[in-house]
A and B are shown apart, each in its own frame.
Chain A
C-alpha cells in the first residue's frame, strides 16, 4: 500500500493522560502536515514539516502538543495532559511539493476521545 497510514485509528483516553499518534507518509513525500477535525467542521491546520524541519505551527498547537519528524520520515504527534476539548479526528497528510498543485494525500485519521 502506498498511501498515508496513521496509527492508531481510534484512541480512548482519560482526561490528564498523554497520548501519541503516528503518521507514515508516502515514502518519497518530503512535506508532512497535521490537521485536526471536530464534528461538523472542516479540518484545521496544526503544523507542517519540510523533511525533518518543523516550519509552521498553528496557534491551535498549545504547549501541550508536540510534533516531531525524525529523519524526515514518519511523524508523531503527542498530546500531554489531555483535555475533553482535545477530542477530535487527527488527520495527517503528505505531499511531494514539486509543483503548484502540491496535492496533499490524507491518511484515514486517528479519532481521539477524551473521557
Chain B
C-alpha cells in the first residue's frame, strides 16, 4: 500500500484557518487521496477526497499539488470541535477497499 507522511501534531487557534499537510510521493495514477478524522473517543469519520483537482465541501477543502505528490487539507475557520486526529489515506479504487491508516496528525485547537 502506498504510504503517506504527516506531521505528528499541529496546533492552531480557534476561528483561524488550518492547513494540514500530507506527502505521498509514491502515489500511483489510480490512487485517490482521502482524509478521515477521528474525534476523541469516536470512530473515524470521512472528511473529503480527491483525485487531481482541488475539492471543497461543507467540512473542508482539499488542495492537491500538480504532481500529486502532496496535498493539504484546509479547515477554513477552525472550531474547538475540529480538535481530532486527521488521517491522510491513499486509496486505489481498482484495488482493495480497505483504508490504510498511518499515524495521522493530532490537531489541537486553542480557544
Residues of A within 8 A of B (CB): 4, 31, 33, 35, 41-45, 48, 56, 91, 93, 95, 97, 100-109
Contacts and interface: CB of A to CB of B under 8 A. Distances in A.
A97 B97 contact: yes
Interface of B: 32, 36, 41-46, 49, 85, 87, 91, 93, 96-104
Contacts of B99: 33, 35, 43, 45, 104
Given A45-B99, A56-B96, A91 B43 contact: yes
B32 A107 contact: no
B30 to A, nearest CB: 10
Contacts of B49: 100-101
20 contacts: A33-B97, A33-B98, A42-B85, A42-B103, A42-B104, A43-B99, A44-B101, A45-B99, A45-B100, A48-B96, A48-B97, A91-B44, A100-B93, A101-B46, A102-B93, A105-B45, A106-B42, A106-B43, A106-B44, A108-B42
A100 to B, nearest CB: 5
Given A45-B100, A91-B43, 20 more contacts: A31-B97, A33-B98, A41-B103, A42-B85, A42-B101, A43-B44, A56-B97, A91-B44, A93-B44, A101-B46, A102-B91, A102-B93, A102-B97, A104-B36, A104-B99, A105-B46, A106-B42, A106-B43, A108-B41, A109-B43
